Structure 1
Amino acid sequence: MTKNNNRIQRISQEIHKKLAIILQREVQDPRIFMATVSDVEVSYDLAYVKVFITFLHDSDPNVVKVGLQALHAAAGFIRKLIGKAMRLRVIPKLNFFYDNTLSESIRISTLINEIIKNDEKRRITSCNI
């Protein structure tokens, strides 16, 4: 790994920590209730950051939509707080995205469990015949 990639990775981790704290303590918008930063990707030139967010009640698509709108509206304020917390020459622009990997993994796990139960039921009924 090159020196520049290590720097980008360290900056990414630090932005991840600072964003989590800012969302928990500083942002008082009720539409962003229980938002969690799941991942942060910093561009190579440090100009942009992709922030992947999950929400507590993300089974409701309206919660996700409203939460992302509120985060986009508060992006300037959050960016200003990151600038105060970190010593960077350029404070990157924040882009928020919904991270659905957790909800998708739960859905897939539920489907697999249902298939296993159905398969066991078929085995039991075929053995009894």
Structure 2
Amino acid sequence: MSSRRTLKAASAIKEVVSMAILVELRDPRVKNVTVTFVEISGDMRYAKVHVSIMGDPKEQELCMHGLKRSAGFLQKKVNDRVDTRYTPRIEFVLDKGVKNSFKVSEILADVLPDEDTSTPATAGDGEVAGTTEGTSEPDNQDRG
């Protein structure tokens, strides 16, 4: 099985599962869910659907429970819309990448100084970067 085929199948599964969660799934526990990516096994029998869930850990846990309970319904949707020999068994995995990127951004915001309070960047000889001293460009002053 070529890797191009598995990538194509993973993309199709991601699209089907995303739309089914958004439009067709009626479980009130499942909300604020984004399918980030799908990993599929080489024989296309297993698919790990990575999801990002906004909310506190308790809401995330409830949502993951709802997704796991809805896996059979979502597998049926994948079977109906994606033409493969086997219907991949879907496993949901909580993707913490988005949450981690927010933490990194907060840490960087605390560590790095604000741009408003920083001093201007200087060039090598102590002159302010971006000045055109010593160039042959005419001054743009009003001459009247």
For normalisation by structure 1, the TM-score amounts to 0.84
Looking at structure 2, the residues matched to 106 and 94 of structure 1 have their Cα atoms a distance apart, in angstroms, of 28
Distance 1:65 1:96 in 2: 12
Percentage of identical aligned residues: 24
Unaligned runs of 5+ in 1: 124-129
SS at match of 1:84: helix
Out of 61, 67, 87, which is 1:65 matched to? 61
Aligned amino acid, residue 116 of structure 1: L
Aligned-partner Cα distance in 1 for 2:90–2:80: 15
What residue ranges of structure 2 are gaps of 5+ in the alignment? 120-144
Q: How many Å separate the matches in 2 of 1:39 and 1:74?
A: 18
Partner residue of 1:41 out of 28, 32, 39: 39
Alignment pair present for 1:96 and 2:97: no
Tell me how far apart the structure 1 counterparts of residues 47 and 12 of structure 2 sit (CA, whole Å).
Answer: 12
Aligned-CA RMSD value: 1.8
**What is the DSSP-based 3-state SS (H/G/I as helix, E as strand, rest coil) of the residue aligned with 1:52?**
strand
1:19 maps to: 17
Offset of residue 34 of structure 1:
2.2
Contact 2:35 2:49 in 1 (8 A): yes
Post-superposition CA distance 1:24-49 (Å, at most 9, x none): 11101111112110010000110100
Aligned residue pair count: 117
Q: Which residue is 2:83 aligned to?
A: 87
**What is the CA–CA distance in structure 2 between the aligned matches of 1:34 and 1:85, rounded to whole Å?**
24
Q: Does the Cα contact within 8 Å between 2:54 and 2:60 map onto a contact in 1?
A: no
CA distance in structure 2 between the aligned counterparts of 1:16 and 1:101, rounded to whole angstroms: 17
Q: CA deviation at 1:86?
A: 1.4
TM-score, L = length of structure 2: 0.76
| Paired residue secondary structure (1:44) | coil
